[in-house]
């Protein structure tokens, strides 16, 4: 039997040789992406690579300080360990994670499980998994005509309305309208009373639009009578595309530009050869955002789970012993 190989990668290490070993790593596992999100969250980007008997596991995370200790969390979006090979070796992998936690002073781990990649059943045997909501995606393996047949009738009406009103969608290859997008995104977050975690520093937008090893970012812009009225950033990964950020002008919402924008995004991602366009979920449950996204996907939904893992039980109990039950329900409770 082969000995296990477990390598802890720090922020300044070269992750590329390990990333390139995997067939199915997605955009959210990209070294540049993880490091960009770590800077946003004031943490450090780290990853671990595990190999045993031909099975490989890669797991990037953000290490966030708390007092003299740390928690590890998923970067913005989705994540968790990706296993290529024998899923039963996830338990072996986590014996190494537990040892790393002791050495590094890591108290907890919180994973926003990738709906398409995380081995949820095997992970649930190691830590608590909570069903949060569903995400939805467009299956791009059918013809565009078949995909459009799966759109809701109201969605198709709104797409046609946007076209009649003169809305046009472009792929902004030279990022001419990136600043417009940033302003609209911030307007959208304010309108929706979004949590501060959904805001990004100014430098983020240009950095996010640089191509990296696991994805190519694209900016789609909706224009009307010389004005930018909506936009979307989509991350084109190896096999899947992800709708990453979206923005729209309050003033022009009646033009239904978002419907046309998403329709053009579907067509563009299909032409680029991707098999799936993952649109994500809503802000909670079957809300308006989720219903809007679902109007494109013909019921193609996935479970989104959050994993919570206490790596140092004694220290966790000590840090949460004076917290209320409401505070302890938050995870980790001492960060409430």
Q: Are 110 and 331 in contact (CB under 8 A)?
A: yes
Pairing of strands 69-73, 106-112: parallel
Q: What is the pLDDT of residue 307?
A: 98
Q: What is the pLDDT of residue 220?
A: 99
Position 325 pLDDT exceeds 80: no
Q: Which helix (H) or strand (E) holds 40?
A: helix 31-40
The 10s digit of each residue's pLDDT in 297-324 is 999 999 999 999 999 999 999 999 987 7
- What residue segments make up the domains of the chain, in order of their start? 5-134+306-335, 142-274
The 10s digit of each residue's pLDDT in 118-148 is 999 999 999 999 999 999 999 999 999 999 9
Q: What is the pLDDT of residue 285?
A: 73
The topology under which CATH files domain 142-274 is Aminopeptidase (3.40.630)
* Percent of the chain's residues with pLDDT above 70: 99
Instruction: Measure the CA–CA gap between 164 and 162, rounded to whole angstroms.
Output: 5
Cα 130 versus chain centre, distance = 17
Torsion over CA: 32, 35, 41, 42 (sign) = negative
Q: What is the pLDDT of residue 171?
A: 99
Can you tell me which residue has the tokens 């596991």? 57
Question: Concatenated DSSP letters for 265-282?
Answer: HHHHHHHTT-SEEEEE--
The 10s digit of each residue's pLDDT in 200-245 is 999 999 999 999 999 999 999 999 999 999 999 999 999 999 999 9
User: At residue 113, what are phi and psi to the nearest 5 degrees?
Assistant: -60, 130
Q: Are 5-134+306-335 and 142-274 the same fold in CATH?
A: yes
The 10s digit of each residue's pLDDT in 240-273 is 999 999 999 999 999 999 999 999 999 999 999 9
Per-residue three-class SS string for 280-304: ECCCCCCCHHHHHHHCCCCCCEEEE
Short-list 91, 39, 94, CA closest to 62:
39
The 10s digit of each residue's pLDDT in 164-176 is 999 999 999 999 9
Across 144-164, b (16+ Cβ under 10 Å) vs e yields: eeebbebbeeebeebbebbee
User: In the predicted model, what is the mean pLDDT of residues 9-25?
Assistant: 96
Can you tell me which residue has the tokens 């995370």? 61
Q: What is the pLDDT of residue 329?
A: 76
Position 274 pLDDT exceeds 80: yes
Q: What is the pLDDT of residue 264?
A: 99
Q: What is the pLDDT of residue 328?
A: 66
The 10s digit of each residue's pLDDT in 55-70 is 999 999 999 999 999 9
Instruction: Measure the CA–CA gap between 325 and 333, rounded to whole angstroms.
Output: 9
Position 1 pLDDT exceeds 60: no
Tell me the pLDDT of the chain averaged across its residues: 96
Q: What is the pLDDT of residue 257?
A: 98
Which of the four pLDDT bands, split at 50, 70 and 90, describes residue 276? very high
Of 2.60.40.1180, 3.90.180.10, 3.40.630.30, 3.30.750.200, which CATH number belongs to 5-134+306-335?
3.40.630.30
Q: What does the DSSP 8-state code read for residue 335?
A: G
């Amino acid at each position: 039997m082969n000995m296990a190989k477990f390598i802890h990668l720090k922020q300044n290490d070269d992750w590329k040789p390990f990333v390139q070993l995997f067939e199915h790593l997605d955009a959210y596992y990209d070294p540049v992406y993880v490091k960009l999100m770590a800077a946003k969250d004031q943490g450090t980007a780290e990853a671990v690579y595990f190999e045993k008997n031909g099975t490989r596991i890669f797991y990037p995370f953000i290490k966030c300080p708390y007092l003299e200790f740390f928690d590890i969390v998923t970067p913005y979006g989705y994540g968790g360990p990706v296993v290529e090979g024998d899923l039963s070796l996830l338990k072996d992998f986590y014996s190494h994670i537990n040892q790393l936690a002791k050495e590094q002073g890591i108290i907890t781990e919180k994973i926003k499980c990738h709906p398409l990649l995380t081995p949820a059943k095997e992970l649930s045997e190691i830590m608590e998994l909570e069903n949060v909501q569903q995400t939805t995606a467009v299956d791009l393996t059918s013809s565009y005509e078949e995909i459009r047949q799966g759109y809701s009738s109201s969605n198709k009406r709104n797409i046609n309305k946007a076209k009649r009103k003169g809305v046009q969608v472009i792929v902004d290859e030279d990022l001419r309208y990136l600043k417009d997008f940033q302003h609209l995104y911030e307007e959208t977050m304010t309108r929706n009373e979004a949590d501060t975690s959904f805001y990004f520093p100014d430098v983020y937008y240009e950095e996010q639009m640089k191509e990296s090893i696991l994805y190519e970012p694209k900016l789609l812009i909706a224009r009307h009578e010389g004005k930018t009225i909506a936009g979307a950033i989509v991350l084109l990964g190896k096999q899947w595309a992800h709708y990453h950020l979206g923005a729209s002008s309050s003033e022009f919402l009646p033009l239904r530009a978002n419907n046309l924008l998403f329709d053009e995004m579907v067509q563009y991602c299909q032409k680029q050869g991707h098999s799936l366009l993952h649109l994500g979920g809503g802000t909670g449950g079957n809300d308006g955002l989720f219903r809007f996204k679902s109007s494109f996907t013909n019921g193609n939904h996935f479970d989104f789970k959050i994993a919570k893992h206490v790596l140092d039980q004694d220290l966790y109990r000590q840090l949460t012993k004076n917290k209320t039950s409401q505070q302890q329900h938050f995870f980790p409770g001492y960060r409430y």
